[in-house]
Amino acid sequence: MAELSARMRALVQPHLAGIEPYDPNFTPTRINLSANENTYPMPAPARAAINEALAATPLNRYPDPMSGALRNELARWHGVDRACVCVGNGGDELLYNFLLAFGGPGRTLVTCPPDFSEYAFFASLAQTEVARVWRDPATFEIDAPALLEAARTAQLVILTSPNNPTGNLVSAELVERVCAACPGLVMVDEAYGEFAPAGTSAAPLLERCPNLVVLHTLSKAFGEAGIRCGYVLAAPDVVEVFAAIRQIYSVNVLTQAAATAAVRNRASFGRVVEQICSERERLLAALRAPRFAAAGLEVWPSAGNFVLARMPRASQVRARLRDEYSILVRDFSYVPGLDGCLRITVGTPDENNAVLAALAELTGAA
């Protein structure tokens, strides 16, 4: 992404002068496995319910600011009071508002990189210092003692489970210890939580950790990245802050209607999530085969809908996948701690077969 012009660098707030906007590096391709979207067709009952809800939604009225109907559905689903739920224009808006409300000059956010780059970006917008507790370079596991030490003096902690792009989970036991250590708020970003084994969510800790915030999105398992809908679960006084600082109409009427219908029909997404998880294991097993190992390729286990693969000449492989095979994956090879790494979203069986065949040719494993 281009830097700001000299003229703009002089005009924007000083802390924004070096800003480099998030660049998903999108190019139209035949197969897009670059953004961890759900590439499966939406289950027919859910799609029909969404279509019906959209058709019945008047467009002339402002949205319900707090997404009442959707919030009720989410609260019922998660077994919490609706005062514990706040909806946002994607998880991104809630992450941004988290930093805006609780970060700021003189305050510190603890993160465990390599992780989702938006955390550091939003921290820089909110002039919040970032204390980085680097993951183990070989396993990408969190350095728990260092995290607990950093959390003791931080106003904010964000842990990602499953972590994007490395796929690791954070144990509930560690989350609870971090919540006890941190005088501020601890967010567990579970954007990919539905792809993780049952029982791994931090949400049950909400009952005894009043400083815990759990972030979810409908963009991944529920295949609705386009409608922009995320939500947080947290104690009512934390939700009040999210509610107070948000732009009142950020979650539009069509999003509220589609999301409410999707959540009501959530059971129909179970099959798709199962299939994605089984395709993830198939992809990982294929990439661990001796022919790929001999070509220098390494993969890590993943609890998300993506896999991270390290290989020689990764950037070049990614460019050739795009240009010669029309397959888009995400290049992380320039990111500290992720040399040589590409992230591949788990697609449909055909998409996964295509990326496996292309990778075999490009890495010399064929």
Site string for ligand PMP, 150-189 (x = CB under 6 A): ----------x---x------------------------x
Tokens of 146: 């260092």
Residues β-bridged to residue 212: 186
Which of 166, 102, 103 minimizes the C-alpha distance to 134? 166
Residue 163: CB atoms within 10 A of its CB come to 26
91 binds ligand PMP per the rule CB under 6 A: yes
CA dihedral 298, 301, 302, 308 (to 10 degrees): -10
* Stretch touching ligand PMP by CB under 6 A, among 42-50, 88-96, 237-245, 257-265: 88-96
114 binds ligand PMP per the rule CB under 6 A: no
- Which residue is at the shortest CB distance from ligand PMP? 90
85 binds ligand PMP per the rule CB under 6 A: no
Tokens of 41: 């067709």
* Stretch touching ligand PMP by CB under 6 A, among 90-98, 200-208, 263-271, 328-336: 90-98
Do the Cβ atoms of 103 and 126 come closer than 8 Å? yes
225 binds ligand PMP per the rule CB under 6 A: yes
Calculate the alpha carbon distances from 22 to 5, 98, 117, 119, 258 in Å: 17, 18, 8, 11, 27
Q: Find the binder of ligand PMP among 40, 96, 102, 116 (CB under 6 A).
A: 116
Residue 89 CB-half CA count within 13 A: 14
Strands (DSSP E) along 116-246, which ranges?
129-132, 156-160, 185-189, 212-217, 230-234
Task: Output the smallest distance, CB 169 to ligand PMP, in A.
Answer: 13
CB burial of 209-243 (b: ≥16 within 10 Å; e: otherwise) equals bebbbbbbbbbbbbbbbebbbbbbbbbeebbebbb
219 binds ligand PMP per the rule CB under 6 A: yes
17 vs 225, which CB is nearer to ligand PMP?
A: 225
Residue showing tokens 């739920």: 85
73 vs 92, which CB is nearer to ligand PMP?
A: 92
90 binds ligand PMP per the rule CB under 6 A: yes
201 binds ligand PMP per the rule CB under 6 A: no
228 vs 264, which CB is nearer to ligand PMP?
A: 228
Calculate the alpha carbon distances from 229 to 70, 333, 339 in Å: 10, 30, 32
| CA–CA distance, 103 with 101 (Å, rounded to integer) | 6
Site string for ligand PMP, 43-82 (x = CB under 6 A): ----------------------------------------
Q: Which of residues 307-366 bind ligand PMP (CB under 6 A)?
A: none
217 binds ligand PMP per the rule CB under 6 A: yes
Task: Output the smallest distance, CB 97 to ligand PMP, in A.
Answer: 12
Residues at the site binding ligand PMP, with contacts judged by CB under 6 A: 36, 90-92, 116, 160, 164, 189, 191, 217, 219, 225, 230
